[in-house]
Structure 1
Amino acid sequence: MLNRRRMLQAAFSGAGVAMGVPSPRSFAAPTESGLPSATLRSGGGPKRIVFFMQNQGFDPRTCIPKGMKHSGSLGTAKLPEPISPLEPFKDRLHIINGLHGTHTSPSHSAFFGALGGYRGGDGVPPSGSTIDYELSKVLPQTMLPHLCIGMDSIENMKTKPTIARLSASGAGQPIFMHSNPNHLYQLLYGGIAEGEIRRQHEARSNVMNKIEALAAAKGQSLPAEDQHRYGQFVRGFQDTNGLREQLSTISEHLRQFAPKVDERYAQPEFETDWHDRLLDLGISSLTSGITNTLTIGSGRGEIFGAWKGLGIDQQGHNLGHMDQPDNPIWIKIRQYNSRMLVRIMEKLESIPEGSGTMMDNTLIVYTSNNADKQHTNGANWPVMLLGNCGGIFKTGCFTQIDGKRPINSLYTTLLRVAGQNVDRFNMSEQMAKKFDEGNGPLSEVLA
């Protein structure tokens, strides 16, 4: 069977259309609570998941309270300054230290290997699907199963509005991150927008429809050996146009969640203006029920990145050569990230779902795409989890692991709680003998 995400990506690559849309799914009508019924499910486990990947490494000393050398409660501990915005939420926080990713060869970045749990590298295509994509298939279905957003310098986001470095749907099948909030707004909310955004949306829609029809007609005259590949190209446009049509059927529902467009979309003063707008769109895609899996790449999985809006003149590779603990620059960046996590939690907490709120059914995973630091060997890969998903995950604690289990074991755990009976993720028995001294889920994170 043909992979429809691959078709879509082939279409965008061949046509030069930088929208990065995964294959859409059928979408349930909104319920009385305002959320599409596809997001409501009984039986426990997360209903949605957010991955927040920071580049340049995640030094454990920026998240582990001083004096904590062994696993224990965070109840009386004071969180380090870089993650201090999370202090009011530490009863929902689980800090994990001691997982490893040596097999991913991260160095400057593990790229696709960070979420794939396999060997990565600059310019190396993904060797398999990543955990965010696999979870998007088994979580409650939504119209757009997986959304990726990437934050970088304003120059990089403008010149490369989509880029693929972190997520994949299979071997050689990257998933693109959106980095231009104007393009992403048009995709999600162009049908209910007004003014110039609406005109651009309609113009692009007309072009896409014409290209689909023209491509389908021209493809019939190709030699038989080329028709299969060309069919992927055509179905890519069909998927894009199909998603737009599905979104138009729930336009009134979307009006409740669409972010307000302001001058920072078209005229950002700093790259953080676009970072914040992208986060708004990511949050709205969750709260509206458009997607159930959101991947955020701060630095887009590479060695670049800029935060001039925080008063930081240094950018890119230089940031990775700075020690993170007690560094005022990294304190600003990490606190900015933490405030983003708080914004996600507070918004999800404000929306009822079932007998609780959306946050009660959401897990947030915060880590880095290159373990603990730049030029790392991946021997220590700190992770923070936020949310307990109905008591499934331990929270309000710090866990020190002995460094003998890989990040794959955490990803196996996420698949298990999502209902998949798996003992390993992207790790053969031969690989496991070398890199994993355990088997199955990471019991330390489960309640």
Structure 2
Amino acid sequence: MQNNGFDPKSCVPTNVANNGSLASAILPKQIEALNPYKEKLHIVNGLHGKHTSATHSAFFGALGGYRGSNGVPPSASTIDYELSKILPETLLPHLCIGMDALENMTTKPTVANLSASGAGQTIPMYSNPNHLYQLLYGSISSGEVRSQYEADSSTLELVESLAVSKARGLSASEKERYSKFTRGLGDINNLRGKLENASDQLAQFAPEIDERYQNPEFETDWHDTLLDLGISALKSGTTSVLTVGSGRGDIFGSWKGLGVEVQGHKLGHMPQAGNPIWDRIRQYNMRMLIKIMEELESVPEGSGTMMDNTLIVYTSNNADRQHTNGANWPVMLLGNCGGAFKTGRFTQLDGTRPINALYTSILKTAGVNTERFNMSETMAGHYDSGTGPIKAIIA
């Protein structure tokens, strides 16, 4: 999810009718790197998120399909978490990584702006690749990484033990609130234990640690290493659901490594289409998407590859632009997820179906029999002209 909006002029082909094949489509400059992958691509324009109050960002509402704004807690779980519950169990059900300016990722290595496991239950994004590497591969590392991993493990176990013991003198209501904290510590320690037990499986997928981890020159060094770690988690089977927040779901973000000196909110006040600054950012995003596809294509799975059974969703956390009303929310889908989705297509919708309908479509193909995602009948009466999945994208 790229912040500051996704201008439809950046992705809508200029020579394709409202609904048609991408075979002879002329892709806009910002996504032209996807030309060799058009048979795997489906560009969808005309969904909306007017009910999410997107403005600067819909925050949790972008993946939840409900009202979201700065400081507003999630009112329900988000689509990525829901998928992690449905898909076969993995060591780490859901991994969320966030990319930002280097100073932001350093001072705040985790933030929670996009994903949630329920009302008021946020899921953090990892932004420091050293921390994420240690979590995933610390148990199979050596030297300083291994020493730090062991020290952290001992500390976390001690903190959990102390936290549990301190709960004994609390009242019933206080214990309930406090148990959320102790359960969280228990979950972290259990995860670390599971990863240690799977060390032989993980070893073959661990990326090489290089200078970019400890001594990044630009924020894009950490962006790239975070992506490598996310891909490695998918390839190793550590997780089946990866959420990438470029700008970490807020108005921020920096790409000095691309020669872009403008940062954060100012980027949202620039036109995107035809803007050389946004050309660089979006083209960088496309290189990331291509890397994910190529890496997953290298892993055999069933009678094909891992990419054959994957769906990649590329969009923004605040619809088409900064200061948006959410009336148009462009989306690009890559991969058909085992033949469940149509590809090689451009689809123009009429603006009357919400992003919730896309999430309903994804859940439907994953085997969940639902007609709506996070939308009551009353809300749907105002914001959804139909029910169920979007027929134009389902195979």
User: Deviation at 1:74?
Assistant: 0.6
Partner of 2:242: 294
Q: Is 1:417 matched with 2:362?
A: no
Deviation track 1:234-281 (CA, whole Å, cap 9, x = no partner) reads 222221111111111111111100111001101100000000000001
- The amino acid across from 2:373 in the alignment is F
Mapped to 1, the partners of 2:159 and 2:199 lie a distance apart of 25
Partner of residue 12 from structure 2, selected from 54, 64, 67: 64
- Give the 4+ runs in structure 1 shifted more than 4 A: none
Deviation track 1:316-359 (CA, whole Å, cap 9, x = no partner) reads 10100111111111010001000000000000000000111000
User: Deviation at 1:313?
Assistant: 0.5
Mapped to 2, the partners of 1:327 and 1:225 lie a distance apart of 55
Describe how 1:292-441 pairs up with structure 2 within 5 A.
Answer: 292-441=240-389
Alpha carbons 2:218, 2:257 under 8 Å: kept: yes
Q: Secondary structure at the residue paired with 2:244? A: strand
Partner of residue 133 from structure 2, selected from 172, 185, 190: 185
Gaps of 5+ in 2: none
Gaps of 5+ in 1: 1-52
Partner of 2:198: 250
Partner of residue 266 from structure 1, selected from 214, 217, 220: 214
Mapped to 2, the partners of 1:441 and 1:90 lie a distance apart of 23
Partner of 2:181: 233
Mapped to 2, the partners of 1:444 and 1:327 lie a distance apart of 31
Mapped to 2, the partners of 1:149 and 1:390 lie a distance apart of 25
TM-score by length of 1: 0.87
Q: Is 1:122 matched with 2:70?
A: yes
Mapped to 2, the partners of 1:248 and 1:77 lie a distance apart of 48
Q: Is 1:76 matched with 2:24?
A: yes
Partner of residue 175 from structure 1, selected from 118, 123, 135: 123
Partner of 2:224: 276
Partner of 1:220: 168
Partner of residue 97 from structure 1, selected from 23, 42, 45: 45
Mapped to 2, the partners of 1:90 and 1:104 lie a distance apart of 31
Deviation track 1:205-246 (CA, whole Å, cap 9, x = no partner) reads 111111112222222233343222223322222211111111
Q: Secondary structure at the residue paired with 1:359? A: helix
Mapped to 1, the partners of 2:364 and 2:372 lie a distance apart of 10
Partner of 1:138: 86
Q: Secondary structure at the residue paired with 2:122? A: strand
Q: Secondary structure at the residue paired with 2:266? A: helix
Deviation track 1:279-330 (CA, whole Å, cap 9, x = no partner) reads 0010001000010110000000100100000000001101001111111110
TM-score by length of 2: 0.98
Mapped to 2, the partners of 1:108 and 1:68 lie a distance apart of 31
Deviation track 1:382-428 (CA, whole Å, cap 9, x = no partner) reads 00000012221110010000111111001000111110000000111
- The amino acid across from 2:56 in the alignment is H
Give me the CA root mean square deviation. 0.9
Partner of 1:27: none
Mapped to 2, the partners of 1:127 and 1:247 lie a distance apart of 31
Mapped to 1, the partners of 2:66 and 2:169 lie a distance apart of 41
Aligned length: 395
Q: Secondary structure at the residue paired with 2:283? A: helix
Partner of 1:147: 95
Describe how 1:34-45 pairs up with structure 2 within 5 A.
Answer: none
